[in-house]
Amino acid sequence: TQHYRITLLPGDGIGPEIMAIAVEVMQVVGQQLDLSFEFQEALLGGAAIEATGEPLPAATVETCKNSDAVLLAAIGAPKYDTLPRHLRPETGLLGIRAALGLFANLRPAKILPQLIDASSLKREVVEGVDIMVVRELTGGIYFGQPRGVFATESGEQRGVNTMAYAESEIDRIGRVAFEAARKRNKRLCSVDKANVLEVSQLWRDRITALSADYPDVELSHMYVDNAAMQLVRNPRQFDTIVTGNLFGDILSDEAAMLTGSIGMLPSASLGATNPGLFEPVHGSAPDIAGQDKANPLAQVLSAAMMLRYGLDQLIAADRIEQAVMQVLDQGDRTGDIMSTGMTLLGCKAMGAALVKALANLA
Ligand code: IPM
Ligand code: MN
């Protein structure tokens, strides 16, 4: 029996509900494939603020470091938006990314044929879209120094953030992206603003230099404004995208929306040595928390990504993804992806449908 220690960060809002489904699904797959999961829970975000006064308690970092992988649900709620920045749930998320050195964020945006009409774009535009956004996650303008609001000599305030990348930071995310492209359709588009920003010129030069090591991957470059446009004009031109922290934040939301169902999308954040962190792209949906209405599928698919990229258990990951396809094929839907003729299920009932689908897999 292969044994894994998994840290769970259920977080806020719908987080605990969808996490419970992911755990159930993992336990079933574990029994089927002789994997054993030891789950340990820790606090992050609003849940941590309530219990300890801070969004990322030191004990949470310890627990995460002491595990093979970290599964996060979602954090945040409007009531925390007025707290000072260092006490907000989002600061906890940025903190755990930094503490675990999770510099590579993988955000797949794949159109599911069953849900294609949920997209706000025309079917012929989004049909077949399958994009992987590789976003740098621990550098760039999110973390650059100097930062702050400073008084100027004239007495007004001046807000400052700094977009900076060292060569080594560009190289390590570049390599992750080339490797990812290699396992996909071997096309990599690097997105920057090299016509204006020096940091982007260095980014472009380094990515171009790296491409010598990946002759089988076709590299292109695109300015970020054009990329935003091309993503809605002709998204099928993209296979793998690599970009910095802020551009990746924005473009990955745009790419996610192409699929029309942000409630379906998982993500992975990986470092060099520490355990990876896996989370759905969607937020904590406080408006429907506690009502058994949430869509657990992105959380379940995040568990599949954890098995694939974090634990190298590809068969287990495949099984979970197959079970998700199975429930969609049979017409099971939560409210966010509901359409006529389908069966509306709550969060728990969707979990039960997944368990049943898993049991029926060959
Ligand atoms: C995301 C989120 C975070 C980010 C926020 C909540 C700090 O938008 O994971 O994309 O900007 O990275
Ligand atoms: Mn974001």
Which of 357, 279, 345 is CA-nearest to residue 320?
Answer: 357
Is 81 one of the annotated active-site residues of the chain?
no
- The ligand 1 atom at the shortest distance from the C-alpha of residue 252 is 10
Residue nearest atom 1 in ligand 1 by C-alpha distance: 249
Distance from residue 249's CA to the centre of ligand 1 (Å): 7
54 lines ligand 1 (CB under 6 A): no
pTM metric for this prediction: 0.94
75 lines ligand 1 (CB under 6 A): no
Position 192 scores a pLDDT of 98
Token look-up 């309530």 returns 50
Angle at 287 between CA 284 and CA 288, to 5 degrees: 80
The highest-level CATH class for domain 112-260 is alpha beta
Residue nearest atom 3 in ligand 1 by C-alpha distance: 90
d(CA 323, CA 60): 31
SS3 269: strand
Do residues 155 and 210 make contact, with C-beta atoms less than 8 angstroms apart?
Answer: no
Who's near 140: CB < 8 A, 6+ residues apart? 163, 164, 165, 199, 244, 245, 246
93 lines ligand 1 (CB under 6 A): yes
Among 193, 293, 309, 336, which one carries the catalytic annotation?
193
Is 309 one of the annotated active-site residues of the chain?
no
Which of 214, 66, 241 is CA-nearest to residue 136?
Answer: 241
| Same fold yes or no, 1-100+274-362 and 112-260 | yes
Is 253 one of the annotated active-site residues of the chain?
yes
Give the count of alpha carbons within 13 A of 259, CB side only. 27
Mutate to test the pocket of ligand 1, among 93, 96, 245, 247 (most ligand atoms within 8 A of CB): 93
Position 57 scores a pLDDT of 98
Note the CATH architecture for domain 1-100+274-362.
3-Layer(aba) Sandwich (3.40)
90 lines ligand 1 (CB under 6 A): yes
Who's near 294: CB < 8 A, 6+ residues apart? 14, 17, 18, 285, 288, 334, 347
SS3 31: helix
Task: Point out the ligand nearest to the CA of residue 281.
Answer: 1
Q: How many CB atoms lie within 10 A of CB 316?
A: 22
Omega cis (within 30) before 84: no
Q: Walk along the chain (362 residues) in steps of 10 and give the mean pLDDT of each run.
A: 97 98 98 98 97 97 98 96 93 96 97 91 96 98 97 97 98 97 97 98 98 98 98 98 97 92 93 95 95 98 97 97 97 94 97 98 87
Four-residue CA torsion sign, 305, 309, 311, 316: positive
Q: Which residues, in sequence order, are bridge partners of residue 131? A: 109
Task: Point out the ligand nearest to the CA of residue 107.
Answer: 1
d(CA 15, CA 242): 29
Q: Which residues, in sequence order, are bridge partners of residue 333? A: 344
Give the count of alpha carbons within 13 A of 229, CB side only. 5
SS3 359: helix
Complex-level ipTM beyond the 0.90 threshold: yes
Position 118 scores a pLDDT of 87
Distance from residue 256's CA to the centre of ligand 1 (Å): 14
Residue 176 is given by DSSP the state H
Position 362 scores a pLDDT of 81
The tokens of 288 are what? 């429907």
171 lines ligand 1 (CB under 6 A): no
Residue nearest atom 4 in ligand 1 by C-alpha distance: 249
SS3 354: helix
Position 254 scores a pLDDT of 95
| DSSP of 284-319 | --GGGTTTT----HHHHHHHHHIIIIIS--HHHHHH
Distance from residue 90's CA to the centre of ligand 2 (Å): 10
| DSSP of 214-240 | -TTSEEEEEEHHHHHHHHHH-GGG-SE
* Residue boundaries of the structural domains of the chain: 1-100+274-362, 112-260
Distance from residue 68's CA to the centre of ligand 1 (Å): 23
Distance from residue 254's CA to the centre of ligand 2 (Å): 10
- The ligand 1 atom at the shortest distance from the C-alpha of residue 137 is 12
Distance from residue 249's CA to the centre of ligand 2 (Å): 5
Residue 140 is given by DSSP the state G
Is 193 one of the annotated active-site residues of the chain?
yes
Among 81, 205, 213, 225, which one carries the catalytic annotation?
225
